[in-house]
Structure 1
Amino acid sequence: MKTQFFFRHLIAIASLATLIISCNNDDDFTAPPVISGEQQLKDTLTIGKTLRLSSRIKDRSNLSFQWTVDGKGVSSDSVYTFKPETRGDFKIEMTAKNNGGDVKLTYDIHTWGAYENGFFMINEGWYGHGTGTVGFYRYDTKAIEDSIFVKVNPDKNLKPESSTLEFGTIINKKLFLVSKAAGPVVVADAYSLKEEKRIPAQAGNDWRAIVAIDENQALLTSGKGIFKLNLNAMELNGQLEGVTGQVGDIVKVNNYIFALSAAKGVLVINAATLAVEKTISSMVLGFAVTEDKKVWAAGGTKLINIDSNTLEVKEIALGFQAYGSWGAWHPGSITAAQNDVFIARNASFSGGKEIYKYTGDVASLARPFITLTGVNILYGAGIGYDKKKNTLVVNTVDSGFGANFANNNLYLFNADSGAKTGGVSFSGYYFPAVSVFQQ
């Protein structure tokens, strides 16, 4: 019995010792770091800007930090300032560590190109007083940046001053700028706007618009037909046979190219053979392309759509006279959102105040979708659709003459409801031509 009592007493002493040791260890315990809030975050910024990233840890005592960008160590501070040199997606990870363990925080950052997070404003310029200009409306600041092409390319220009910059589009991530009246065709990176190539300005040039056939070839419309263009060398390679006179707007859908001729209306061109397969006369305004791959144009009091597979033409009563702009050409005042078509009711050149929306029901053309107020009138193409924001972009000047043309407004309307969602007023003889949206 004495022996059993001895062992029980010894076990009790050992248990007490273990309890004392455990308490001492608890006193020395270090809690691992704790992040405040979510541990995986997203953000964006534009090249040229910086973004200060926090570790999101309140108690930073006795901690070590490690920041990596796409797996490469970049900092050991508790905060990190990210300044990207290229556009794209970056994964930034922060690891905080102490004796109790570690914790990770991830930032997924998308970096926009310098001129990606917004849209371009192509301005024809004040004829005889200066060249056309390229502006940029930035989504985050809701402001317009002026004359960005010459700011990015200080050793380049869009001269002669007698030319007008009337058209722009993005092909293969390149912004193409097309000038009339002896001006150049310029190719710039669509994100940085740095010039890469050009067809030099020279007497006899009279360009209108451009469309890509494939990655290597394009068609360039002009005051005297359609020219074939090698996109790699930026060299002309002859003209399309049988197409003469002024040709303006041009689009490619499926296996056909649709071009608007002042003399013949819509020319339907086989994209493989470059032969004209069909002509649709009396059309003066084009083009919009809906998601169902129909091509839209207008002439007289008719709105038409062309099935890009069968080339079948359907006519819709427009309810008002459609006008083109052959006297002083600018891109057509027509655009599309999904399967809806927007068309401006212009005067004989520009100057309209009403924008109609055709939704597939002729009743939708009974009244304007948007009516401009006050002295505002459309100028140039006047309307464009921004798919990224589901916004109808509208350019206006004041009605009248002279100094009235220096009063500009950029309006943004919800493409579904027609409600105005924003706008910027600015001064200067810009003469807006067309908006160009990143793809």
Structure 2
Amino acid sequence: MKKFYLALLFLGIFVGFLSSCSDDDECTPLPAPPIINITSGNLSMHIGDSIILKASVASPTETTFSWILDTTEVSTDSIYVFKSEYSGLFDVKLTATNSDGTVATTTSITVQPGEYKNGTFVLSENNSLLTFISPEGKVTTDAYTDENGTKLGSVNQDIFIKNHKMYIVSQNGGGDGFLVIANAETLKKIKGFQTELNGKVNWPTHVAVLGDDDIYLRDNNGVKRFQPSTGTVTLIEGTSGARKNTMAVADGKVFASVKNTVVVIEAGKDIISSTINFDGEVSGVIKASDGNLWVSDRSGKITKVDAKTYQKIGMNDIPTEVASVWNTTYAAAPGITAKGDTLYISGLTSKIYRHIFSTKETKLMVDAKTMVDNVGIVYNTCAVHPLTGEVYLNSIKGYGQNYKINNISVFNFSGDEPELSANYENYTAFPAGTFFTYNFE
């Protein structure tokens, strides 16, 4: 395979040389083409592995080298060690220059996805559990501890993924901190923030991220901007009373619910940029698949909002029976979940309702208690898988030691009757929410 690759390398340079000359021109000889010798690894690798690329030129003339990864020069040595902490296809360009001229060649390296790049996470408040369900249905009870040998903080509440990093926030801190940043594909801890946030946050529950130095934490005082580079934590004026609920990120901005409003926070700013008003207390704000927003409020409405202009581009009334679940829930997860224009609502009940926005049809899809044993208490709200359309519902048998009897139930509503696609028993400990990696792409 290496011989075949090198042959292609020579062929590419030779064809380029021929095309640069006409029969009548005098061609200046180019320097001998650089050869990339792969002395360790191959053209496909796993995260954390490395490939040693060695350049050589069949010319006695002194030659300089430049290795470019994407648009950044990463080495001027004749040897470059390629390593990546995340997956993807990477182009490494080698340029060789001497007194005869300059030639260049590019090789591509595939880094295979990490074990946790794609799948479903269920975060639990107790025991610092981060449960992972692979696309094939394999369950890892506590993936974070398995990878790090340490525990997340106490009373975990929320997850956000940005730029190949996973951000996990815990209400009480301890363990690896109030906020933990981990590699989103391997779950290896990058940094935990305990002392840096101690005294600066008051029971933080939710996190949204716009950049490495633009981390927004919702706590009992409001929404705060955390800048790890300086350790600065700034309360954003006007966010007092921010609901203990998920913040959405769309169009490069944070959208957080504060009573009857959704406030907009732009990157790099410590102020509210705009406020969107609703008729009732906002029970959920989530990013729609088209990049806009879905907002539910306790007046019994679901509204589509343009994430750029903040205009309301559609509004549906929900039947009183369904809207009432928003008035009885104080879940940390949104009151709505959506795939396309199909939304699901459960609140803290075992009943899952479907609302199709385009047709304004609302229907009871299932009462989980009729299909799953030990559904005593629904813990946080349902969540729809953005690819499969299956709906996940977390439940426990009860409080006390009964929380150890629990279910992650997966329902399929594509047919005439609801189906229980899967039921994972006894993996959680007061689950705070279900998080699909695909929602952060």
Q: TM-score, normalised by structure 1?
A: 0.65
Using the alignment, how far apart are the partners of 1:256 and 1:110 within structure 2? Answer: 30
Classify 1:148/1:171 alpha carbon distance in 2 versus 1 (closer, same or farther; 3 Å): same
Q: Is 1:153–2:152 an aligned residue pair? A: no
Using the alignment, how far apart are the partners of 1:312 and 1:206 within structure 2? Answer: 33
- Structure 1 position 408, deviation (Å): 2.1
The one of 379, 388, 397 aligned to 1:390: 388
SS of residue paired to 2:146? helix
The one of 97, 107, 129 aligned to 1:133: 129
The one of 153, 157, 163 aligned to 1:166: 157
Equivalent residues of 1:406, 1:430 under 8 A apart: yes
- Structure 1 position 186, deviation (Å): 0.7
SS of residue paired to 2:202? coil
Using the alignment, how far apart are the partners of 1:415 and 1:260 within structure 2? Answer: 30
Map of 1:176 onto structure 2: 167
Spell out, residue by residue over 1:146-201, the C-alpha distance to the aligned partner (whole angstroms, 9 max, x if none): 112122112x3334xxx310111211111111111355111100011011122216
Using the alignment, how far apart are the partners of 2:256 and 2:89 within structure 1? Answer: 42
Equivalent residues of 2:377, 2:395 under 8 A apart: yes
Classify 1:235/1:379 alpha carbon distance in 2 versus 1 (closer, same or farther; 3 Å): farther
Q: Is 1:116–2:117 an aligned residue pair? A: yes
Map of 1:224 onto structure 2: 221
Instruction: Return 5+ residue gaps in structure 1 as ranges.
Output: 1-69, 92-107, 126-130
Classify 1:287/1:408 alpha carbon distance in 2 versus 1 (closer, same or farther; 3 Å): same
Equivalent residues of 2:158, 2:205 under 8 A apart: yes
Using the alignment, how far apart are the partners of 2:113 and 2:342 within structure 1? Answer: 30
Using the alignment, how far apart are the partners of 2:339 and 2:355 within structure 1? Answer: 10
Using the alignment, how far apart are the partners of 2:151 and 2:357 within structure 1? Answer: 42
Equivalent residues of 1:182, 1:205 under 8 A apart: no
- Structure 1 position 234, deviation (Å): 7.6
Spell out, residue by residue over 1:345-395, the C-alpha distance to the aligned partner (whole angstroms, 9 max, x if none): x2xxx2332232324222x21x213431354366344322333x4233413
Q: Work out the number of aligned pairs and report it.
A: 328
Map of 2:308 onto structure 1: 309
The one of 193, 201, 210 aligned to 1:199: 193
Classify 1:270/1:179 alpha carbon distance in 2 versus 1 (closer, same or farther; 3 Å): closer
SS of residue paired to 2:318? strand
Q: Is 1:357–2:358 an aligned residue pair? A: no
Map of 2:4 onto structure 1: none
Classify 1:429/1:146 alpha carbon distance in 2 versus 1 (closer, same or farther; 3 Å): closer
Equivalent residues of 2:160, 2:209 under 8 A apart: no
Select between 217-226 and 396-405 the one with higher mean Cα deviation. Answer: 396-405
Equivalent residues of 2:407, 2:424 under 8 A apart: yes
Using the alignment, how far apart are the partners of 1:415 and 1:236 within structure 2? Answer: 47
Map of 2:207 onto structure 1: 210
Spell out, residue by residue over 1:398-434, the C-alpha distance to the aligned partner (whole angstroms, 9 max, x if none): 4544344222222333465585363133226611111
The one of 279, 282, 290 aligned to 2:280: 282
Spell out, residue by residue over 1:313-360, the C-alpha distance to the aligned partner (whole angstroms, 9 max, x if none): 343221121426885x5222421112322222x2xxx23322323242
Using the alignment, how far apart are the partners of 1:411 and 1:171 within structure 2? Answer: 27
Map of 2:181 onto structure 1: 187
CA RMSD of aligned residues (A): 3.4
Equivalent residues of 1:334, 1:381 under 8 A apart: no
Q: Is 1:268–2:269 an aligned residue pair? A: no
Instruction: Return 5+ residue gaps in structure 2 as ranges.
Output: 1-35, 50-83, 91-108
Using the alignment, how far apart are the partners of 1:278 and 1:90 within structure 2? Answer: 41
Classify 1:71/1:229 alpha carbon distance in 2 versus 1 (closer, same or farther; 3 Å): same
Using the alignment, how far apart are the partners of 1:146 and 1:158 within structure 2? Answer: 14
Equivalent residues of 1:255, 1:271 under 8 A apart: yes
Equivalent residues of 1:393, 1:410 under 8 A apart: no
What is the letter of the counterpart of residue 114 of structure 1?
E
Map of 2:400 onto structure 1: 402
What is the letter of the counterpart of residue 130 of structure 2?
V
Classify 1:209/1:425 alpha carbon distance in 2 versus 1 (closer, same or farther; 3 Å): same
Using the alignment, how far apart are the partners of 1:245 and 1:325 within structure 2? Answer: 18
% identical aligned pairs:
17
Map of 1:334 onto structure 2: 336
Map of 2:16 onto structure 1: none
Using the alignment, how far apart are the partners of 2:288 and 2:418 within structure 1? Answer: 22
Map of 1:66 onto structure 2: none
The one of 354, 369, 377 aligned to 2:365: 369
Select between 375-384 and 244-253 the one with higher mean Cα deviation. Answer: 375-384
What is the letter of the counterpart of residue 188 of structure 2?
K
- Structure 1 position 215, deviation (Å): 5.0
SS of residue paired to 1:149? helix
Spell out, residue by residue over 1:240-264, the C-alpha distance to the aligned partner (whole angstroms, 9 max, x if none): 1122134332112226532112xx2
Equivalent residues of 1:383, 1:392 under 8 A apart: no
SS of residue paired to 1:237? strand
What is the letter of the counterpart of residue 338 of structure 1?
G
Map of 1:427 onto structure 2: 426
Classify 1:89/1:225 alpha carbon distance in 2 versus 1 (closer, same or farther; 3 Å): closer
What is the letter of the counterpart of residue 317 of structure 2?
A
What is the letter of the counterpart of residue 342 of structure 1?
Y
What is the letter of the counterpart of residue 332 of structure 1?
P
Spell out, residue by residue over 1:94-119, the C-alpha distance to the aligned partner (whole angstroms, 9 max, x if none): xxxxxxxxxxxxxx987330222422
